[in-house]
Amino acid sequence: MNVRRSLVVPAAIMLGAVGYAQERALGQEPGEPFETPPIPPAGAARAQPIAAIAGKDVIVCVPNVQLPHNSKHVPGTINVVATVACTKKVKSIAVRTGLYRNRKRVKMSGTRYFPGSRFGANNAAVRCRPGSYLGAVSWTVRFPPGYVPSVLTKLAWGDTRKLSC
């Protein structure tokens, strides 16, 4: 069965073809967030929502890759925060965040798990050097029993921002 075709959700929250192709190209399993690419590809997928359905119930999850910024807690470092917010509590959310400077990945976070939550977040940081910074997030949502699909992994990109130190 083509699971994605069975979802009755607005087109705007269906899986993005570009992101899905990227994940396939990276040869990743769908159950865990993966390392974001070493170099941002052309046509990188922006943050797109995903959805899972169980009967009439739909859970929508939305990623948000924030603009990189100078850390408030540790001056002299550039930090990027990525979040995932779902409309209902899910089985788990796992998040990895990548940080890029001048179109080259300079930091890849580990995986942070949020069991039984509606929210997940992770961050990546480097010592500040002037340049153009960009964040990316690889994220996996495991939905509650009965929802289709049961698990989804996605990749999304934020906007580029020039930062000085």
Partner 1 sequence: MGHTPVELLRKRLDELDIPDPPTSDGPSDRRLQHLVVVMGSFTDARMEAECIGPAVVSPDVADAWVGGSELLQSIASDEPYLVDGPVQLGMQEWIATGRHGPAVPTDVHSRAFYTSTATRRGPSMWRTYLNLHYEPELFPLPWRTWRLEADAGAAVFEVASARDWVEFVERYPARDAQLVKPDWASASHDYAGVHLTLGAIVAIQGFAFLTAYGPTEPQYWDVESTRWLSWRFGSPVLVETTTAGPSGL
Region 57-96 residues binding partner 1, contact defined as CB under 8 A: 64, 66-69, 71-74, 77, 79-81, 83, 85, 88-89
Size of the site for partner 1 (CB under 8 A): 36
The answer to whether residue 138 forms part of the interface with partner 1 (CB under 8 A) is no
CB nearer partner 1, residue 22 or residue 59? 59
**How far is it, in rounded angstroms, from Cα 55 to Cα 15?**
19
The answer to whether residue 109 forms part of the interface with partner 1 (CB under 8 A) is yes
* Cβ neighbours, 10 Å, residue 43: 10
CB nearer partner 1, residue 12 or residue 42? 12
Q: Tokens representing 149? A: 């699909």
For partner 1, which residue of 127, 129, 132, 165 counts as binding (CB under 8 A)? 127
The answer to whether residue 114 forms part of the interface with partner 1 (CB under 8 A) is yes
| Helices within the chain (DSSP H only) | 3-6, 17-25
The answer to whether residue 123 forms part of the interface with partner 1 (CB under 8 A) is yes
Tokens 């010592």 correspond to 127
Q: Tokens representing 59? A: 């859970």
The answer to whether residue 48 forms part of the interface with partner 1 (CB under 8 A) is no
Nearest distance, CB of residue 68 and partner 1, angstroms: 7
Pick the closest to residue 67 from 160, 141, 146 (CA basis): 160
**How far is it, in rounded angstroms, from Cα 150 to Cα 38?**
29
